[in-house]
Amino acid sequence: MKHFSLKQKYSREQFIYAVNLLLLFLVYFTTARLGLKINAVSGFATLVWPPTGIALAAIFLSGRKYWPAIFAGAFLVNVVTGAPFFVAIGIAAGNTLEAVIGAMLLNRFGYIGNQNKLNDALTFILHGVVFSTIIAATIGVTSLFIGGLVSTAAYPATWMAWWVGDALGALVVGNLIIVFAKRFSLKKIKIGRTPEVMAFIVLFVVSNIAVFTHVWGSTIIAPSSPILVYALFPLLIWAAVRFGPLGTAVTIFFVSIFSIWTTFTGTGPFTLGSLSQNLLMLQGYIGIIAGTTMLLSSMIAERFTIEKQLLDEKNKDEAILESIGDGVIVIDTKGVVMLINHAASSMLGIGLDESIGQLYEKVVKIETMDGALLSGETRPYSQALRSMKVITGNYYFLRWNKKKFPVTLTTAPIVLEGTVVGVIDVFRDISHAQEVDKAKSEFISLASHQLRTPLTTMKWYTGALLDKDVGELSEEQRQYIGEIYHNNERMIGLVNSLLNVSRIELGTFIINPVPVHMNKIADEVIHDLLPYTDSKKIKIIGRYDKHLPEIKMDPELLRIIFQNLLSNSIKYSKEDSSIHVSVVVRDREVVISVSDSGYGIPKREQEKIFTKLFRADNARSIDAEGSGLGLYIIKSIIEQSGGRIWFESQINEGSTFYVAFPLSGMSAREARHSLVNNS
């Protein structure tokens, strides 16, 4: 059964193939007969030969397997016209090869057939029209020559007529069929363009009648004046520009048929010589108008395609931009908003017309997290333009209704071929994240505060035990209770640090600057640290400016700063070394430096050193008990009170930490809590 059904399918295909072959044969034969009837040179070479186009299109569109129809058609038509058997075989072979090689060349050179590109049209003209037709003309005329039907003298004229006929057949008919097959679709027909098409058809018919017939005789221009042919040019250009490659091919087809017919019947501008001369001239004319309009229409189609691609790309980019959940604003180098996406306009509460084309500074007001309004050169936009670098940070954006919301903003310069053409701002509303952070800090603040009471109680009781307040302890008991005491102290330190971190992050710690002698505070801290320096045989050497004035500092915060820097230096120094502390006035600033010759900080980890909980690799092996919070805390204190901190460090050579404040001292802040000093 299975075998049978397969066989059936095979037979069906065979049947369709056979019908197609027959149809192609009939069309070929009929059109060829028609062509030969129109004044064939030497009886067989005609200037009008549509079969070439039909054969080329058939093989190009449906495949090489249709060659037998062409061969049979060409053979038969020549036999009927009176060619001896072998001459007809030769001619048929030439015509078949012309179509097969023509289609092969078209495929080889990437011809698609829709003429959406100039290249497509050029390939067709070159290979389908000019080259492949040389084959049929040469083989055909040579066959006639060998068969004694063409003399040496008549050879060139016969060849010329053959070649022109074939080339025009390919150019007019072949092109029409292929372009029709590749471009025609009912869906593409635009009803709205009917009036234009109607107007074109009317003018086209009128012009053709005027040019090629003597219906409207004129005393001004003779009916056969060659100048008349130009009258068709505007219409041909109209077709090429407005109706695409298919419309153009149809137009040319009709001009060809009409002009050949009228020339044949003796009217129109191509009637000055013998019929074959006239037809040769006419075919030259058709060749020129067909070729040029074909190139023109394909160029225009190519332009449309590119325009559409560009538009599609643009729409796609815009859709992507619109779909981004973050706010995006693009600003040109003059500070004018070029583009704003939906997320940005809804976050800012402005419409597109209120923002695009306006000055960015007017559209978006930006404040620092401390509430200072940024304008002109201080805005991230200007910084990015100036430095050509990406700027990131947290800011407040002001809505048009004056409400502000916190954002995390990335401002990047847009560089096109080496020049900055603008800036792109991408931002996200972080109100929610900030609230969550705040809730977390509040929780930590509360929890660590609560934890301090039991820890303090434990400190007192273990202290009392160690002080023998309730009697003597055995050596072992002393040792155990000593461990408890030490670890309890560590816990208190950690809890205090956590409390400080949460207060810093909530911005709720007091800064109360009063005039102080900074060297005195440094000395006090050094004194407190004696037990540690002594146990490691470390010497701390202080060097203070002799004329150091009193500076307005919060003594508690200053103590925390010294205490952290010095205890780090002690921790990360080898035994028997020295640490240098200095407080000097330099460039209208008071600068503290703490310098050790200890283990140093590895280069690759230096940029993370002020991050919360960060500890360098070497520090972890030197001291297992650190928390990685000290530097984060003092950096926050210093920056929130108007100073800055930085350091220099070389691995295994030592580190120097610097802290600088303006001579005016720390900036004051009122708040609910003080920070806790661990010492």
Across 101-112, b (16+ Cβ under 10 Å) vs e yields bbbebbeeeebe
Q: Of these, 132, 345, 568, 636, which contacts ligand ADP (CB under 6 A)?
A: 568
CB of 655 to ligand ADP, least distance (A): 4
Residue 560 interacting with ligand ADP (CB under 6 A): no
Q: Are 558 and 518 in contact (CB under 8 A)?
A: yes
Secondary structure letter of residue 128 according to DSSP: I
527-531: which pairs have CB atoms within 8 A and are 24 or more residues apart? 528/563, 528/679, 529/563, 529/566, 529/567, 529/570
CB of 436 to ligand ADP, least distance (A): 25
Residue 619 interacting with ligand ADP (CB under 6 A): yes
CA proximity to 175, closest of 290, 31, 257: 290
CB of 627 to ligand ADP, least distance (A): 5
CA distance 261 to 501: 99
CA proximity to 364, closest of 372, 424, 375: 375
Residue 145 interacting with ligand ADP (CB under 6 A): no
Task: Measure Cα distances from 644 to 53, 267, 635 in Å.
Answer: 86, 100, 7
Q: Of these, 291, 596, 637, 641, which contacts ligand ADP (CB under 6 A)?
A: 596
Q: Of these, 616, 645, 659, 666, which contacts ligand ADP (CB under 6 A)?
A: 616
Which pair of structure tokens corresponds to residue 418? 């080496």
CB of 626 to ligand ADP, least distance (A): 3
CB of 599 to ligand ADP, least distance (A): 5
Q: Are 334 and 215 in contact (CB under 8 A)?
A: no
212 backbone dihedrals φ, ψ, rounded to 5°: -105, -5
Q: Which stretch binds ligand ADP (CB under 6 A): 40-48, 83-91, 311-319, 611-619?
A: 611-619
CA distance 598 to 565: 13
Amino acid at 51: P
**The Cα angle at residue 486 between residues 482 and 491, in degrees rounded to 5:** 145
Q: Of these, 52, 276, 441, 569, which contacts ligand ADP (CB under 6 A)?
A: 569
Residue 493 interacting with ligand ADP (CB under 6 A): no
CB of 647 to ligand ADP, least distance (A): 8
Task: Measure Cα distances from 44 to 61, 68, 142, 257 in Å.
Answer: 28, 21, 12, 20
Residue list 621-640, contact with ligand ADP (CB under 6 A): 626-632
CA distance 473 to 463: 13
CB of 437 to ligand ADP, least distance (A): 20
Which pair of structure tokens corresponds to residue 393? 């940070």
Secondary structure letter of residue 45 according to DSSP: B
CB of 452 to ligand ADP, least distance (A): 19
Residue 593 interacting with ligand ADP (CB under 6 A): no
Q: Of these, 168, 615, 638, 661, which contacts ligand ADP (CB under 6 A)?
A: 615
Residue 143 interacting with ligand ADP (CB under 6 A): no
Q: Are 114 and 245 in contact (CB under 8 A)?
A: yes
Residue 177 interacting with ligand ADP (CB under 6 A): no
Only one residue has tokens 């540690």, namely 532
Decide whether 278 or 564 has the Cβ nearer to ligand ADP. Answer: 564
CB of 653 to ligand ADP, least distance (A): 10
CB of 427 to ligand ADP, least distance (A): 31
CA distance 573 to 652: 9
CA distance 459 to 456: 5
CB of 399 to ligand ADP, least distance (A): 39
Q: Which stretch binds ligand ADP (CB under 6 A): 13-21, 78-86, 433-441, 615-623?
A: 615-623
Residue 675 interacting with ligand ADP (CB under 6 A): no
Residue 492 interacting with ligand ADP (CB under 6 A): no
Decide whether 386 or 620 has the Cβ nearer to ligand ADP. Answer: 620
Decide whether 281 or 498 has the Cβ nearer to ligand ADP. Answer: 498
For ligand ADP (CB under 6 A), the number of binding residues is 21
Residue 95 interacting with ligand ADP (CB under 6 A): no
Contact positions toward ligand ADP, by CB under 6 A? 564, 568-569, 572, 596, 598-601, 609, 615-616, 619, 626-632, 655
